[in-house]
Amino acid sequence: MSTAVAGTNYLNYPKGLKSWLFTLDHKRIGMLYFFSILFFFLVGGIFALLIRLELMTPGFTIMGPDTYNKVFTYHGTVMVFMVIIPMIPAAMGNFILPMMLGAKDVAFPRLNLASYYVYLFGAMVALATLFFKGVDTGWTFYAPYSTRTGSAAGMMVMAAFIMGFSSIFTGINFIATIHKLRAPGQTWTRLPLFLWALYATSVIQVLATPVLALTLVLLALERVFGIGIFDPALGGDPVLFQHFFWFYSHPAVYIMILPAMGVISEVITVFSRKNIFGYKAMAVATFGIALVAFIVWGHHMFVSGQSHTANFVFSFLTMFVAIPTGVKVFSWVATLYKGSISFYAPMLYALAFLFVFTIGGLTGVVLATLATDVHLTDTYYVVAHFHYVMVGGTLMAFMAAVHYWFPKFFGRMYAEAPARVSWFLIFLGFNVTFLPQFIAGSRGMPRRYYDYVPEFTWLNQLSTIGSWLIALGFVIAAVYLAYALFKGPKAPANPWNSRTLEWESESPPPVENFSHDPVVRHGPYDYHWEAK
Amino acid sequence: MSSPHQSSSSVEHHVAHHFKDGEHEFLTAKQGMWLFLLQEVLFFSPLFVGYFIFRHMYYHDFHVAAQQLDWVMGAVNTVILISSSFTMARAVSNAQKGKREETVEALLFTILFAFGFLVVKYLEYSHKIHAGTLPGHFFHDAELLKAAPHAPLFFTFYFAMTGLHAIHVIGGIGILIWILMRARRGEFGPKYFTPVELTGLYWHFVDLVWIYLFPLLYLVG
């Protein structure tokens, strides 16, 4: 372990490529994740633009049906497994979690580095399938199609299997770190809500991911050897695959959204200069969502042929998700009330989150309702719903987090004016892209087709134009953030006057995170502590 | 070097920079291991759930197919694994006391038992390959297929469950050999025995999985 030398920070000490590739420093590993994820976000984004371009006009626009199947499969797989799942926990969390706790590192630094390389290896295997005829199953790999298709589905499920272990390792690491490495005074009730969110996320990562991992192994064995578990011809049951798959993949959507909610809690308090409304209710609600996550998977399978009793029970249980989620949304709004609000880029993204996530959440209730879901299953309504939650929710929160912690990560400030322009384009473009899909879906436009009836043309063209607005917004963000990375003005230690511990350290932090041993004497959002 | 029986660790262990002391490091590592084992339980769970579902669906076929297994072989392996858990526990307690020779000896016995388990498993597998009682498409025991059309599915679960368990045993042997070499170098003593303790937890878990597999596959039915 390198010891801190005066005037150095984690970015410039120690030097050399090797010191980065073999680093055990959680901050550097966080940055490795961050830039890898940005790359895969670009890849997944290009696939998204291709999808929208094909849907510009009915029938053949730029690709045929088989190519289209592959393009939407890669968009989904890349975005889910390589971008949204690790986006906030592995990139932001790795950097911020130990600093918020007042720790020098995560509990198991070597496991942390291993998790990064496991992730990278899995991602490489996934992208390598492009050179082996590609994959056309969709990201859900439903049997029996996935066990029979001639494409590289076997290789892709192994890639997801590998990346799953990266997720499990990160989860184990975070739980142990939160339990064992809190600074003196950092009690459970002083834990920032971002950490409560990462804790709940980690629990899901550790408990749900292994189920998917083994299921994918069984699917691969089914493809190679025909072992029969998911094959009705051999007495197996393809619906069992759906059960196992969603037992992971429903909680997985909370792996995506819970850390986002944590970010929003941090940003809203800082830029309202107010303590969070209902701290304990927020922490409990975080775990409430994680708990309910495990008992609602069947709502993805209302038309799969599972029993009516199961449908009824899963529909009923799913409604419970709305309660802790409602607690959160109302608490954020109550935090804004009478706060002194400043509209810097992180706050703009947080407010955008509140707006679009609420739409995503409420349409989720429509889909949880059995009768309406049967009508809406496999239509663009579902596509719009989960994009409102995953893009409108997680991606907006990620952008909030990137702007909020940018000064801490790199010791430099980004330019506020282009950030607002870019925010506006992304927010506007997002709604232009996905609002029409609610309308198209509720009128019966099915998902996963490269073609549609001419009546839906104007809605699809609107949606495609929206996708270009989003792309433009991200290009602008890439430009001004890259500029700030090298040429931005030097950031002070605490540019936003935040109260959480990571801001007590310099920007960027020294190798050992703090130049003194931190002691916590106040709550995470106690903005008027000095006045008392 | 001190006497082989009461030697404490002769190789100094450095506590990593982000822990207060050795105790702090040990407790954290142990919690990490428990979390890993929790993950392992869920990793095995689809196989158990699937087995229960299909056993319920094809009760008769699974009953007939299960009679093809030799419960004596299973029982022998159960005894072998429980013995290995005993020697593993001895290794942990000896490492804590800094008894180097005894630690190495107990680890050696654990490894031998593990190999013994695999030998019995090998005999069972080769018998099944010979008899054609294999998973899915590979099944070619026409007589059994007539009596129990879904017998292949039973053997899918038999091979998947015992196979995944055997992979864990093989992985365990690798870890045990590594721990044995470190113990021989005198790395463990009262102040530092974390790797031995964690390997012990893992090994008991592998044992415990078998304790469930044996009655489920060999005895029930």
Q: Hey, is A381 helix, strand or coil?
A: helix
Instruction: With CB atoms and an 8 Å threshold, state whether A1 touches B17.
Output: yes
For chain B, say whether A227 makes contact (Cβ under 8 Å).
Answer: yes
The answer, yes or no, to whether the previous bond of A86 is cis (omega within 30 of 0) is no
Separation CA A403–CA A484 (nearest Å): 11
Question: Which residues in chain A are closer than 8 Å to B137, comparing Cβ atoms?
Answer: 225-228, 234
Separation CA B34–CA A14 (nearest Å): 34
Tell me the nearest-neighbour CA distance from A146 into chain B, angstroms.
17
First to last CA, chain A: 41
Check pLDDT > 70 for residue A1.
no
- The H or E element spanning position A491 is none
Residue with tokens 């001639």: A150
Cβ-contact A341, A347 below 8 angstroms: yes
Minimum CA–CA partner of A161 in chain B:
B43
Residue B149 covered by a domain = yes
Which distant-in-sequence residues (6+ apart) come within 8 Å of A416 by Cβ? A344, A345
Minimum CA–CA partner of A212 in chain B:
B43
Tell me the nearest-neighbour CA distance from A234 into chain B, angstroms.
7
Question: Which residues in chain A are closer than 8 Å to B40, comparing Cβ atoms?
Answer: 210
Check pLDDT > 70 for residue B8.
no
Cβ-contact A457, A58 below 8 angstroms: yes
Separation CA A230–CA A219 (nearest Å): 8
> What tokens appear for A107 in the block?
């509990």
Cβ-contact A519, A185 below 8 angstroms: yes
Separation CA A490–CA A412 (nearest Å): 5
> What tokens appear for A29 in the block?
């590993």
Q: Hey, is A181 helix, strand or coil?
A: coil
- The H or E element spanning position A172 is helix A153-180
pLDDT, tens digit, 9 for 90 and up, residues A346-379: 999 999 999 999 999 999 999 999 999 999 999 9
Cβ-contact B39, B122 below 8 angstroms: no
- Helix/strand/coil (H, E, C) string of chain B? CCCCCCCCCCCCCCCCCCCCCHHHHHHHHHHHHHHHHHHHHHHHHHHHHHHHHHHHHCHHHHHHHHCCCCHHHHHHHHHHHHHHHHHHHHHHHHHHHCCHHHHHHHHHHHHHHHHHHHHHHHHHHHHHHHHCCCCHHHCCCHHHHHHCCCHHHHHHHHHHHHHHHHHHHHHHHHHHHHHHHHHHCCCCECCECHHHHHHHHHHHHHHHHHHHHHHHHHHCC
- Number of H helices and number of E strands within chain A? 19, 0
Q: Structural domain of residue B116, as residue ranges?
A: 43-219
Query: Which among B40, B47, B150 is the nearest to A235, CB-wise?
Result: B150
> What tokens appear for A28 in the block?
């550097």
**For position A493, what pLDDT does the model report?**
95
Minimum CA–CA partner of A248 in chain B:
B42
> What tokens appear for A160 in the block?
């997801």
Question: Which residues in chain B are closer than 8 Å to A111, comparing Cβ atoms?
Answer: 32
**For position A529, what pLDDT does the model report?**
60
Separation CA A151–CA A167 (nearest Å): 26
> To the nearest whole percent, how much of chain A has pLDDT over 70?
98
Q: Between A and B, how many residue pairs show a Cβ–Cβ distance under 8 A?
A: 112
Cβ-contact A219, A141 below 8 angstroms: yes
Question: Once rounded to an integer, what is the mean pLDDT over residues A62-91?
Answer: 96
Question: Which residues in chain B are closer than 8 Å to A218, comparing Cβ atoms?
Answer: 46, 160
Question: Which residues in chain A are closer than 8 Å to B31, comparing Cβ atoms?
Answer: 107, 175-176, 179-180
> What tokens appear for A125 in the block?
């295997």
Q: What is the ipTM of this complex?
A: 0.94
Please count the structural domains in chain B.
1
Q: Hey, is A342 helix, strand or coil?
A: coil
Which of B14, B15, B18, B62 would you mutate first to test chain A, the one with the most A CBs within 10 A?
Answer: B18
The answer, yes or no, to whether the previous bond of A210 is cis (omega within 30 of 0) is no
Residue with tokens 């790359």: A39
Tell me the nearest-neighbour CA distance from A251 into chain B, angstroms.
14
Instruction: With CB atoms and an 8 Å threshold, state whether A229 touches B42.
Output: no
Instruction: With CB atoms and an 8 Å threshold, state whether B156 touches A206.
Output: no
> What tokens appear for B138 in the block?
């590979």
Instruction: With CB atoms and an 8 Å threshold, state whether B137 touches A173.
Output: no
pLDDT, tens digit, 9 for 90 and up, residues A467-493: 999 999 999 999 999 999 999 999 999
Q: Hey, is A412 helix, strand or coil?
A: strand
**For position A531, what pLDDT does the model report?**
47
Compute the mean pLDDT over every residue in chain A, rounded to the nearest whole number.
95
Separation CA B185–CA B182 (nearest Å): 5
Separation CA B107–CA B97 (nearest Å): 15
Instruction: With CB atoms and an 8 Å threshold, state whether B32 touches A228.
Output: no
Instruction: With CB atoms and an 8 Å threshold, state whether A181 touches B28.
Output: yes
**For position A326, what pLDDT does the model report?**
95
How deeply is A451 buried, as exposed, middle or buried, from its count of CB atoms within 10 A (0-12, 13-18, 19+)? middle
**For position B7, what pLDDT does the model report?**
46
Cβ-contact A153, A223 below 8 angstroms: yes
Question: Which residues in chain A are closer than 8 Å to B21, comparing Cβ atoms?
Answer: none
Question: Which residues in chain B are closer than 8 Å to A175, comparing Cβ atoms?
Answer: 31, 35
For chain B, say whether A244 makes contact (Cβ under 8 Å).
Answer: yes
Separation CA B199–CA B92 (nearest Å): 9
Instruction: With CB atoms and an 8 Å threshold, state whether B35 touches A235.
Output: no
Which of A2, A29, A180, A211 would you mutate first to test chain B, the one with the most B CBs within 10 A?
Answer: A180
Minimum CA–CA partner of B139 in chain A:
A227
Cβ-contact B35, A205 below 8 angstroms: no
Cβ-contact B77, B214 below 8 angstroms: yes
Question: Which residues in chain B are closer than 8 Å to A229, comparing Cβ atoms?
Answer: 50, 54, 153, 156-157, 160
Instruction: With CB atoms and an 8 Å threshold, state whether A234 touches B153.
Output: yes
**For position A135, what pLDDT does the model report?**
94
Q: Which of B96, B92, B60, B56 is nearest to B176 (CA)?
A: B92
Minimum CA–CA partner of B40 in chain A:
A210
Tell me the nearest-neighbour CA distance from B140 into chain A, angstroms.
13
Residue B9 covered by a domain = no
Cβ-contact B145, B165 below 8 angstroms: no
Minimum CA–CA partner of A245 in chain B:
B46
Residue ranges of domains in chain A: 17-504
pLDDT, tens digit, 9 for 90 and up, residues A413-443: 999 999 999 999 999 999 999 999 999 999 9
Separation CA B216–CA B221 (nearest Å): 8
> What tokens appear for B136 in the block?
């899915």
Residue B122 covered by a domain = yes
Q: Which residues of A386-414 are buried (b: 16+ CB within 10 A; e: fewer)?
A: bbbbbbbbbbbbbbbbbbbbbbbbbbbbb
pLDDT, tens digit, 9 for 90 and up, residues B118-173: 999 999 999 999 999 999 888 999 999 999 999 999 999 999 999 999 999 999 99
Question: Once rounded to an integer, what is the mean pLDDT over residues A186-212?
Answer: 97
Report residue B221's pLDDT band, with 50, 70 and 90 as the boundaries.
low
> What tokens appear for A438 in the block?
């609610």
Q: At what angle do helices A193-225 and B22-57 cross, to 10 degrees?
A: 40
Check pLDDT > 60 for residue B110.
yes
**For position A519, what pLDDT does the model report?**
93
Report residue A232's pLDDT band, with 50, 70 and 90 as the boundaries.
confident
Check pLDDT > 70 for residue B112.
yes
Report residue A528's pLDDT band, with 50, 70 and 90 as the boundaries.
confident
Separation CA B139–CA B130 (nearest Å): 11
Instruction: With CB atoms and an 8 Å threshold, state whether A235 touches B152.
Output: yes
Check pLDDT > 50 for residue B38.
yes
pLDDT, tens digit, 9 for 90 and up, residues A145-183: 998 887 799 999 999 999 999 999 999 999 999 999 999
Question: Which residues in chain A are closer than 8 Å to B29, comparing Cβ atoms?
Answer: 107-108
> What tokens appear for A392 in the block?
């409108």
Instruction: With CB atoms and an 8 Å threshold, state whether A240 touches B53.
Output: yes
Tell me the nearest-neighbour CA distance from A137 into chain B, angstroms.
22
- The H or E element spanning position A454 is none
Which distant-in-sequence residues (6+ apart) come within 8 Å of B154 by Cβ? B54, B58, B61, B62, B65, B66, B148
Domain A17-504 has CATH 1.10.10.10: no
Separation CA A36–CA B22 (nearest Å): 35
Separation CA A292–CA A295 (nearest Å): 6
> Distance of CA A361 to CAs A318, A329, A348, Å?
12, 10, 20
Q: The CATH number of the domain where B163 resides is what? A: 1.20.120.80
- The H or E element spanning position A282 is helix A279-293
Question: Once rounded to an integer, what is the mean pLDDT over residues A106-135?
Answer: 96
Cβ-contact A201, A260 below 8 angstroms: no
Task: Answer left, alpha or beta for residue B139, where phi above 0 means left and psi between -120 and 50 means alpha.
Answer: beta
Separation CA B22–CA B13 (nearest Å): 9
Separation CA A465–CA A357 (nearest Å): 22
Q: What radius of gyration, in Å, describes the C-alpha atoms of chain A?
A: 23
**For position A342, what pLDDT does the model report?**
95
pLDDT, tens digit, 9 for 90 and up, residues A376-414: 999 999 999 999 999 999 999 999 999 999 999 999 999
Separation CA A129–CA A134 (nearest Å): 5
Cα–chain-centroid distance for residue B6?
31
Separation CA A494–CA A504 (nearest Å): 7
